[in-house]
Structures are given as structure tokens and as C-alpha cells.
Amino acid sequence: MRVTTVRIRMTHPEILQRDNVEAFCTAIIDDALAVRDIKIIRGKKGAFMAMPSRKKTERCKNCGCKNRFCAKFCGECGDNLPFVTLTDDESPYADVVFPVSSAARKILEDAIMDSYRQERSLIDADYGYEWHDYDYPVPEVAL
């Protein structure tokens, strides 16, 4: 596996004051697969990479409607939903895309974090970083 392109979209400082997501990334793997919405999150021990995720849902037994995880009532029919608790190691989120091996994760994480550090250094050096409010287009690649 080879990460051929990484695009970093830094979070504007005004947003960063109320949120811990430092950047959003798009990684292109082997010039064939684009993975968007990879997040760089500011944690207690420094920045780390988080893969794209979605909130887990559960279906109502009465009407079959999807409801957010841990909801008390169905959003469609209003029926009571079973009480669900999360253990300490569970999350209400599920990764949508993820590396299946630790070696692949390291390759992806190294490429993304290196690109993030380069962008961060431009901001820290005050080179007049240009903030973007849009997502970068992904180049078309013939297979």
C-alpha cells in the first residue's frame, strides 16, 4: 500500500477554540482510492488521527425505523426503545473506513501526520496561511 496524496484542510482558529478537530484530511491510496473526512484531533497527549465514522443506530422493534444509538423513544412511532448502556471500551460511533492491519495503519498515519505537521508549521511560522472553506477535488485516475 502506498499513500500517493494527502490533502489537509486545517480548522480555522475561531472554530478550534470550541472544537478539538484540528484538521480534516483526504488521503489517496495507490492513485486509486480516496478516503475523505479523516480527522486530526487534538487530544490530551497531542494530535492523533481518527478514521471517518458514523453514529451507530438501532432499529425500532415496532416500526423498523432507524434511531440514534441510546435513544429512549423511536423518532417515527414514539414507541419506547430498550435501554442500552455502553461499557467503557464501547463507542457510539463506528468507523466507516479503516486499515485492516497495523502495518497499513502505520503507513497511513505516518503520511497524514507528516502532512499535518507541515501545514501546522506554516501556520506557526505565520507565513500568511490561506484558510479554505471547501473540500479539495479528488483527481480522476484512469484504471
Domains of the chain and any CATH numbers: 1-52+96-143 (3.30.1120.40), 54-93 (no CATH)
Highest mean pLDDT among 13-22, 33-42, 128-137: 33-42
Instruction: Tell me how far the alpha carbon of residue 49 is from its chain's centroid.
Output: 8
pLDDT for residue 128? 59
pLDDT for residue 130? 61
Q: Is the pLDDT of residue 48 over 60?
A: yes
Find the largest Cα–Cα distance for the chain: 58
Which of 23-27, 47-51, 65-69, 102-106 bottoms out in mean pLDDT, i.e. has the lowest? 65-69
**Nearest Cα residue to 79 out of 93, 65, 95:** 65
* φ/ψ of residue 80, rounded to 5: -65, 140
Q: Is the pLDDT of residue 11 over 90?
A: no
Note the pTM of the prediction, 2 decimals: 0.71
* 47/49 Cα distance (integer angstroms): 7
* 77/58 Cα distance (integer angstroms): 14
- pLDDT, tens digit, 9 for 90 and up, residues 60-84: 999 999 998 888 999 999 999 988 7
State the pLDDT confidence band at 99, using cuts at 50, 70 and 90: very high
DSSP 98: -
